[in-house]
Amino acid sequence: MKGAAYKEVLFICTGNFYRSRFAEAVFNHEARRLGLPWRAFSRGLAIHLVTSPLSPITIAALEERGIALDCTGPDRCPLTEADLRRAARRIALKEEEHRPYFARLFPAWEHRVQYWHFHDRDVAPPEVVLPRIEKRVRKLISKLTKAAKVL
């Protein structure tokens, strides 16, 4: 679908290193496989807190699922207002963690973001969190697929 117009989903996390990048890659892998006119990108609210471009845990989880690393961006990126405007859907991976950032950094957007509830590694292990994120992303894909068939 080169040159086709895609709608975009924005996955937002703190460091844009682990959860948001995993969600982005799973989404893009499935959207490509299904030929959906949607793509995902991800951004972080505080990327200065992390120094590596992508979590080794995320890399291993994607490899384990046969998802190519090109389904996520090459590096961490900070969230901008332009990103928020560009996206048709905006999803922050953990409300308790991310809503305060929105209140401070992007107050006009705080209530225009969908908040999920997936803990970071300091609270829940990746082998618990990543399958849950994957399931939620697949549920979103299913919803978007059904909506595309209605149109």
Q: Where are the beta strands (DSSP E) in 34-134?
A: 38-44, 89-92, 114-115
Query: What is the DSSP code (8-state) at residue 69?
Result: G
Dump pLDDT digits (tens) for 59-71. Answer: 999 999 999 999 9
Q: Which fold has domain 7-150?
A: Rossmann fold (3.40.50)
Mean pLDDT, residues 101-117: 97
Q: Residue 54 has which token pair?
A: 């992508």
pLDDT in tens, 20-76: 999 999 999 999 999 999 999 999 999 999 888 999 999 999 999 999 999 999 999
Q: Residue 126 is which amino acid?
A: P
The H helix count followed by the E strand count for the chain is: 5, 4
pTM above 0.85, yes or no: yes
Yes or no: say if 8 and 88 are a contact pair by the CB < 8 Å rule: yes
